[in-house]
Amino acid sequence: MWRFFLIFLPLFSFAKVIKVGKNETFKSIKAAIASAKSGDTIMVYKGIYKEGNINLTKPIALIGVGMPVLDGENKYEILSFRANKILVQGFKIINSGQDVVKNLGAIRLYDSQFSTIQNNIFENNYFGIFIQRGYKCLIKNNKIITKRGISQESVGDGIHAWVSDEIWIFNNYLEGNKDGIYLERTTNTFVANNYSKNNLRYGLHFMFADDNVYRNNTFDGNNAGVAVMYSRNIEMSENRFINNWGDGTYGLLLKDISFSKIKNNRFENNTTGILLDGATKIDFYKNHFANNGWALKINANCMENRLTNNNFDNNIFDVSTNGTMVLNDFKKNYWDKYDGYDLDKDGIGDVPFHPLSVYSVLSENYPSVMLLFKSFLIDLLDKTEKVVPSLTPESFVDEKPLMKPVVF
| pLDDT average per 10 residues of sequence, the chain (408 residues) | 43 76 94 96 98 97 98 97 98 94 92 98 97 98 87 87 98 97 97 97 96 97 93 97 89 97 98 96 97 93 96 93 80 94 94 76 56 51 52 75 93
pLDDT at position 3 is 44
pLDDT at position 322 is 80
pLDDT at position 389 is 53
For strand 121-123 and strand 143-145, is the pairing parallel, antiparallel, or unpaired? parallel
Q: Cβ of 69: how many Cβ atoms within 10 Å? A: 18
CB 300 within 8 A of CB 322: yes
Cα 89 to Cα 49, 107, 136, 232, 333, distances in angstroms? 15, 12, 17, 34, 46
For strand 61-65 and strand 87-89, is the pairing parallel, antiparallel, or unpaired? parallel
357-378: string of b/e by CB count within 10 Å (b at 16+)? bbbbbbbbeeeebeeeeeeeeb
pLDDT at position 274 is 97
pLDDT at position 79 is 98
pLDDT at position 360 is 60
Q: What are phi and psi of 344, to 5 degrees?
A: -90, 5
Adjacent-strand bridge partners of 138: 116, 168
Interatomic CA distance for residues 60 and 141, integer angstroms: 20
CA dihedral angle for residue 135, residue 231, residue 397, residue 288, rounded to 10 degrees: 30
Interatomic CA distance for residues 355 and 333, integer angstroms: 10
Global pTM? Answer: 0.90
